[in-house]
Amino acid sequence: MTDDRVFQVRLHGRGGQGVVTAAELLSVAAFAEGRHAQAFPSFGSERTGAPVVSFCRISDSPIRTREPVTEPDALVVQDPTLLHQVDCFSGLRPLGYVLVNSSRTSEHLGLSELFGRFPPERLLTVPGTELARKHTGRPLPNAALLGGLAAMTGVVSLESVSSAIHDRFPGPVAEANVAAARAAYRMIQGRVSGEIEEAGVGAPA
């Protein structure tokens, strides 16, 4: 974070994908850095497969509001099928960040056309589900996406994300999720610097 303003993150996904856990882990990562943070889900059904929205705020000062995040600085979309079902991008701040869990490029998801001249390094995809399957054996992309978000925004460090994961999960499970987060971090870091191209074209979302 470059100033004292509250950094707001909104996460979109489906029940069973760990959307609420992702927001909680992000808040714990920020707290580990000595900052103020809050995380909470939207009200409504969280049954498996149902759309779920969760929120996280991070600040260097106490956070007074408890309202849902309507003007996010960053959006994380854990399920790309939601791109065509709900208005994930509502209220996104100018020059905000968008990270989508997909093995397709943002261009092939139609996002580049949607956002026009949006800076390409702030509109990225990462194959979070694939990384999760590789490292954890389960298709839960939340840890990988947090690693990608850390690289993309710098709002928290990878070390703090790793610490939050270790606080939440037992040893082997934590290590597997940290490995997924690190892999996504390196991938996004390379794309932001221009050293690595975005996710491959034509692969399943």
d(CA 193, CA 176): 26
Helix orientation angle between 158-168 and 19-32, rounded to the nearest 10 degrees: 120
When computed from its CA atoms, the radius of gyration of the chain, rounded to whole angstroms, is 15
Contact 73, 93 (CB under 8 A): yes
User: Dihedrals φ, ψ of 66, to 5°?
Assistant: -125, 15
- Of 183, 195, 118, give the one whose Cα is nearest residue 148: 183
DSSP structural state of residue 122: G
Residues in the chain: 205
Chain centroid to Cα 101, Å, comes to 8
Q: Indicate the pairing of strand 51-59 with strand 74-77.
A: unpaired
d(CA 20, CA 11): 8
Domain 7-193 in CATH: superfamily?
A: Pyruvate-ferredoxin oxidoreductase, PFOR, domain III (3.40.920.10)
pLDDT for 43 equals: 57
**Amino acid making up residue 197:** E
Structure-token pair, residue 44: 């409504």
User: Dihedrals φ, ψ of 77, to 5°?
Assistant: -110, 105
Residuewise pLDDT in 10s, the chain (205 residues): 434 689 999 999 998 899 999 999 999 999 999 999 999 998 555 566 788 999 999 999 999 999 999 999 999 999 999 998 878 999 999 889 999 999 999 889 988 777 877 888 999 999 999 999 999 999 999 999 999 999 999 999 999 999 999 999 999 999 999 999 999 999 999 988 877 777 643 333 4
Task: Please count the other Cβ atoms lying within 10 Å of the Cβ belonging to residue 95.
Answer: 9
3-state secondary structure of 152: helix
Supply the pTM of this predicted model.
0.90
Specify whether the backbone of 33 is left (phi greater than 0), alpha (psi in -120 to 50) or beta: alpha
d(CA 128, CA 25): 16
